[in-house]
């Protein structure tokens, strides 16, 4: 257990990043904590390599993403038939396209200091939209890579991401309008 | 014109969402996470070496296990190559086939039973067989439907 002390520091340094990654992909605190724990247990086995590695953060993020995607495909795919209804299933209202020029939502959000609302809106998206959206914008994956990871067509990835962006924007607009 | 507008809109929306999501601060991990990780490490470390993952074995044992596995693999390859040439091989095969004769008899009985069942099914009217299959399908669908309804009801109440 001589490794325990430096490893504790290592966990402290990276726990927020790993937990954020898992939380944004899974939208469930308990599951995200389980995945984060699994990530750090894997990291412990390779701690000798990781402790001084400048790419440790990237490694942790990649492992967290892969474990989350495995988790989603293993435990959730079989229940998608049941769960889409709960999530709203990406309802009809998301199919229409708005042509109104988007205003600077980011500035508005930063000004109102309501990042928690963005997280909440992101978590409110159905998994089919949230996961590719997070992989694209937060994990920096390309459309083709996302399609490969999620084992869906490129067209579906593009459509889901587009709908996800629209739905997120709509939710935020509503929340900002209500909050101010 | 409409297509151009749509493309412009998509690009602006993408840029806007990119800036918004990349600006998100990191979430704070629950305070229980560190404790859980350290407790899991301690409980794993308390396990005897043979119940831990291979990477956690002492280096000497890892080398030894690798040597043993490679020797076993080499031995199996050698046996697969040399055994058919050995004198004792034919007699061993003969003995084995004697032992397996009991299994063959059982297999014969099962295949006769299966043929008889198949012949009986063939005697049944096609309508009855179709009705049975439809009933089975409906029953299966009903189970799935009831399960789905129950889960949706259960989740809706949470």
- Model pTM? 0.65
Residue A43 burial (10 A CB sphere; 0-12, 13-18, 19+):
buried
User: Is B7 within 8 Å of chain A by CB?
Assistant: no
Which residue from B minimizes the CA distance to A10?
B34
**How far is Cα A177 from Cα A119, in angstroms, rounded to an integer?**
17
Instruction: Extract the tokens encoding A167.
Output: 């739905």
Using DSSP, how many helices (H) and how many strands (E) does chain A show?
A: 10, 0
Look at the block and give the residue holding tokens 């939502």: A105
Shortest Cα distance, chain B CAs vs residue A82, angstroms: 6
> What is the pLDDT at residue A92?
41
CB contact under 8 A, B20 and A106: yes
Query: How close are the terminal C-alpha atoms of chain A, in Å?
Result: 53
Nearest to A165 among B13, B28, B40 (CB): B13
Q: Domains of chain A by range and CATH? A: 4-79 (1.10.1740.10), 96-179 (1.10.10.10)
Q: What does the pLDDT look like over A124-151, one tens digit per residue?
A: 999 899 999 999 999 999 999 999 998 8
Give A107-172 as a DSSP string: HHHHHHT-HHHHHHHHHTS-HHHHHHHHHHHTS---HHHHHHHHT--HHHHHHHHHHHHHHHHHHH
Q: Quick check: B62 contacting A, CB < 8 Å?
A: no
Is the reported ipTM for this assembly greater than 0.90? no
- What is the Cα–Cα distance from B87 to B91, expressed in whole angstroms? 8
CB contact under 8 A, B30 and A20: no
Per-residue pLDDT tens over the stretch A52-96:
889 999 999 999 999 999 998 887 655 554 444 444 444 444 444
Question: Which of B23, B28, B29 should be substituted to probe chain A, the one whose Cβ sees the most A Cβ atoms within 10 Å?
Answer: B29
Residue A100 — φ and ψ, nearest 5°?
-65, 140
Average pLDDT (B64-78) is 94
* Cross-chain residue pair A16–B29, CB shorter than 8 Å: yes
Where along chain B do its domains lie?
A: 29-73, 124-158
User: What is the model's pLDDT at position B47?
Assistant: 85
């Amino acid at each position: 257990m001589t490794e325990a002390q430096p490893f504790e520091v290592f966990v402290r340094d990276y726990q927020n990043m790993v937990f954020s990654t898992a939380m944004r992909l899974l939208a469930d605190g308990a599951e995200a904590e389980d995945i984060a724990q699994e990530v750090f247990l894997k990291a412990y086995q390779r701690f000798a390599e990781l402790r001084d590695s400048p790419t440790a953060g990237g490694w942790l993020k990649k492992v967290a993403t892969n474990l989350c995607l495995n988790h989603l495909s293993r435990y959730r795919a079989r229940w998608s038939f049941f769960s889409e209804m709960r999530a709203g299933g990406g309802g009809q209202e998301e199919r229409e396209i708005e042509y109104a020029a988007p205003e600077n939502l980011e500035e508005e959000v930063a000004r109102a200091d309501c990042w928690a609302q963005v997280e909440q809106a992101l978590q409110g998206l159905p998994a089919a939209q949230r996961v590719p959206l997070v992989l694209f914008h937060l994990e920096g994956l390309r459309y083709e890579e996302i399609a490969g990871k999620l084992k869906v067509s490129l067209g579906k990835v593009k459509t889901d991401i587009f709908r996800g962006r629209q739905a997120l924007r709509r939710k935020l607009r509503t929340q900002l309008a209500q909050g101010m | 014109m409409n297509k151009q507008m749509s493309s412009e809109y998509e690009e602006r929306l993408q840029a806007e969402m990119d800036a918004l999501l990349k600006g998100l601060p990191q979430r704070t991990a629950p305070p229980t996470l560190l404790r859980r990780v350290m407790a899991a490490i301690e409980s794993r470390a308390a396990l005897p070496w043979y119940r831990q993952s291979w990477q956690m074995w002492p280096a000497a044992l890892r080398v030894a296990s690798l040597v043993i596995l490679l020797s076993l693999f080499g031995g199996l390859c050698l046996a697969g190559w040399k055994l058919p040439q050995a004198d004792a091989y034919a007699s061993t095969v003969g003995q084995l086939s004697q032992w397996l004769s009991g299994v063959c008899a059982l297999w014969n009985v099962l295949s006769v039973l299966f043929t008889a069942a198949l012949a009986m099914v063939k005697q049944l009217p096609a309508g009855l067989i179709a009705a049975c299959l439809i009933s089975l399908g409906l029953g299966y669908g009903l189970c799935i439907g009831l399960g789905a309804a129950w889960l949706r009801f259960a989740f809706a109440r949470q």
